[in-house]
Amino acid sequence: MRGEKLLWEASTKVADEFYTPMPKGYKKGLTKYLVITGSVMSGVGKGMITSSLCKLFQNRGMNVEPLKLEAYLNVDAGTLNPYRHGEVFVLQDGTETDMDLGAYERFLDKNLTRENFVTSGFVYKTIIEKERRGEYLGRDVQFIPHVTGEIKSLVRALASNKKPDIIVIEIGGTVGDYENMFAIEAMRELMYEEGKENVCFLNVTYIIDPPTLGEQKSKAAQLGIRGLLSLGIQPDLIICRSHKPLSNGIAEKISINSNVPIDRVIGLEDIKRIYELPLLLRRRGTDRKILESLGIEKKFNPKDKELAEWTLKNTPPKDAPITRIAIVGKYVNVKDAYISILKALEHCEGPLKTKISVSFIDAVALENGKIKSSALNEYAGVIVPGGFGKRGIEGKIMAAKYCLENQKPYLGLCLGFQVAAIAFARSTCGLKDANSTEFEPNCRHPVITLLPDQQSVESFGASMRLGSQEVELIKGTFAYKIHGKSCLIKRRFRHRYEFNPEYIEKFAEKGLVFSGKDPKKPLMQLLELPKHPFFMASQYHPEFTSRPLKPDPLFLHFVKKAMVEKC
């Protein structure tokens, strides 16, 4: 009754129309904001442009925090199918995000947290919970000012907690998406409240080049930018993505139709290697022009030599030999489903001076016989990545079994660890009916079973074993050797099923070594076969913590062995 009385009393008072909660200690002007939007179409590299600009600001000595505002109503990315939205990337604190957070981390060489990823679903969930607790003091809760206010509150909380010089905010999707309007409106309000000198807007548009015409066309880009203008946002810079270099005529059309000076219309054509992008943007003055609009260009000086060296070290020699790697997965029609694995392999190219050619092998096609296991012999090494569900699982087991029996370098990741254990049980231990209870609940030899703390879990969202966990490496093993002889490492996990400890002794008798385990529980996290050229698998995801110039040891030594064995 007391709570209802307070709400009634609050509702009888005259309230203003503002809702701008400020984090404790927040001071306007201490943090600058760069807001990046897209127009015309998604998938043209907005995430990589965001990551590259973060790299450029960091290169100037700035403390940078990226922030992704996603429009979908999922609370996080954990329940998204890779076919729908690409890879689910896991942060150190266990937050399941979209793949752009992986790009941010790799380019910044920095661990991000829950604060760096916001979905509309998370915002609405926060609002509903506050409304139920009566925190809006009886007001009718509306998109404006409450939804936009909560978005601004999350942005400012990141500024208050991390004390960055600049927050780079990427708004997912494009300007024309209905679900994006409130995120864009929140950023307009942010500029209104913080002052134009503290907020810079950059739009990434796309210049079409129809093959039948043989020339670039800007009308779609013009309409997309006008959509942004109609929402009350005047972009300060425009990056024009295109297949070929942007023509002067097209740049002039974009400039005159957007009120953006011609020197701030920046062409960005396709490039061969993504690690060239920061240097290319620097040479075109992109970061300088952004900081000029924010009035801090002279405060942070660029370190061009360091950036050039970083670019060079991430580039293999032109005449570098090619190492062919096969990835046996079930989402092979969507390259983005395995983007962190592809990047982890790229991280090995510079240090090992090789070019890696990746081919995707459909596990379902292996399973039903459309592709023979012997086709794997064409590759220098095989990776079996993570995944969920029974579809294609026998194809993955066949791939692990082929590598096991034919001395082919093999790297298993998460589910790839589990299928390696099943393949070893069937092929070497004589346990023909070995399986995982995920796929065969009543199998005779459940070498993979549900984690004990997962037995009572009913919901899917954020309920797995997630995030950074310690892995104890066993002295004398190859894993211990390649990780710098450190007894404890931290890696990121995302799984429900685990190796059944009842089979540890049986596997050991046949020569398999569990070289990494949980330091406090009987959970096996890393396996290796000493008598095999390279047969290793991890229950964790090493691809999530591999970085440019700092490739994960499992990937580095897998590729190194594949180069020796190469076909």
Mean pLDDT, range 259-265, rounded to an integer: 96
Answer with the residue of higher pLDDT: 509 or 2.
Answer: 509
Q: Above 90 in pLDDT, residue 40?
A: no
Structure confidence at residue 259 (pLDDT): 94
Q: How far apart are CA 284 and CA 251, in angstroms?
A: 14
User: Strands 88-90 and 96-98, how do they pair?
Assistant: antiparallel
Residue 6 pLDDT grade (very low, low, confident, very high; cuts 50, 70, 90): very low
Q: How far apart are CA 565 and CA 567, in angstroms?
A: 7
Q: How far apart are CA 370 and CA 362, in angstroms?
A: 9
- Mean pLDDT (the chain, rounded): 91
**In this predicted model, what pLDDT tens digit does every residue of 137-193 receive, in sequence order?**
878 888 888 899 999 999 999 999 999 999 999 999 888 888 888 999 999 999 999
**Which tokens hold the place of 54?**
């973060």
Query: Which sequence spans correspond to the domains of the chain?
Result: 29-312, 322-565
Same fold, 29-312 and 322-565: yes
Q: Above 80 in pLDDT, residue 456?
A: no
Mean pLDDT, range 205-209, rounded to an integer: 94
Q: How far apart are CA 205 and CA 240, in angstroms?
A: 5
Q: Are 92 and 492 in contact (CB under 8 A)?
A: yes
Residue 455 pLDDT grade (very low, low, confident, very high; cuts 50, 70, 90): low
Mean pLDDT, range 6-14, rounded to an integer: 46
CATH superfamily of the 29-312 domain: P-loop containing nucleotide triphosphate hydrolases (3.40.50.300)
Q: Are 238 and 205 in contact (CB under 8 A)?
A: yes
116 CA to centre of own chain? 12
**In this predicted model, what pLDDT tens digit does every residue of 406-452 receive, in sequence order?**
999 999 999 999 999 999 999 999 999 999 999 999 999 999 998 66
Residue 34, SS3 per DSSP: strand
Q: How far apart are CA 38 and CA 44, in angstroms?
A: 9
Q: Above 50 in pLDDT, residue 135?
A: yes
Give the residue among 386, 391, 454, 344 at the shortest CA–CA distance from 102: 344
Residue 453 pLDDT grade (very low, low, confident, very high; cuts 50, 70, 90): low
Structure confidence at residue 459 (pLDDT): 47
Q: How far apart are CA 270 and CA 498, in angstroms?
A: 43
Q: Are 328 and 399 in contact (CB under 8 A)?
A: yes
Mean pLDDT, range 268-291, rounded to an integer: 96
Q: How far apart are CA 187 and CA 148, in angstroms?
A: 8
Residue 115, SS3 per DSSP: helix
Structure confidence at residue 75 (pLDDT): 81
The residues annotated as belonging to the active site are: 414, 541, 543
Give the type of residue at 385. P
pTM equals: 0.92
Mean pLDDT, range 269-280, rounded to an integer: 95
Structure confidence at residue 504 (pLDDT): 94
Mean pLDDT, range 522-550, rounded to an integer: 95
Percent of the chain with pLDDT over 90: 76
Structure confidence at residue 316 (pLDDT): 93
Judged on CB neighbours under 10 Å (0-12, 13-18, 19+), 272 is exposed
Q: Taking the domain 322-565, which CATH number applies?
A: 3.40.50.880
What's the Rg (C-alpha) of the chain?
Answer: 26
Structure confidence at residue 566 (pLDDT): 55
CB within 8 A of 125, min separation 6: which ones?
75
